[in-house]
Amino acid sequence: MWNLDPHAFLKIRLYDDERIVLLKLLKSIKGEVYLFGSRVDEQRKGGDIDLLILSSDNPVVIADQLKTQFFLALDSKLDVVVFNPTKLSAEQSSFINTLNKIRLK
């Protein structure tokens, strides 16, 4: 489920097929999911899709499954960063705090 307010939704630069595939793939994710990077900046063009996932599940499995399934569905690249929210390092917390991000789930 997308947990977006109408104003936040307008800032996301995704094609309809990208939204549909992401919605389907993110249903299985346990945790919070954020879109960040150029796709949340309505003034920019292009760019890859960057996701930040905060989950206690295996980060390698989450990232690999999402990237593979997204590529198979759309022949397009997806960048995925997964952190365990209960075990964040100072560097990970700092990284998250610097992001312009929009919560998707």
Rounded Cα–Cα distance for residues 86 and 66 (Å): 22
Question: Residue 90, Cα to own-chain centre: how many angstroms?
Answer: 21
Q: Containing domain of residue 29, as a range?
A: 6-103
- pLDDT tens-digit map of 63-87: 999 999 999 999 999 999 999 999 9
pTM greater than 0.95 (yes/no): no
Number of folded domains that form the chain = 1
The verdict on residue 13 lying in a domain is yes
The verdict on residue 1 lying in a domain is no
Tell me, what's the pLDDT at 65?
A: 95
Q: The CATH number of the domain where 99 resides is what?
A: 3.30.460.10
Tell me, what's the pLDDT at 5?
A: 47
The verdict on residue 41 lying in a domain is yes
The verdict on residue 97 lying in a domain is yes
Tell me, what's the pLDDT at 61?
A: 95
The verdict on residue 17 lying in a domain is yes
Q: What is 16-85 written as a DSSP string?
A: HHHHHHHHHHHTT--SEEEEEGGGG-TT-----EEEEEE-SS-HHHHHHHHHHHHHHHHS--EEEEEE-T
Tell me, what's the pLDDT at 47?
A: 75
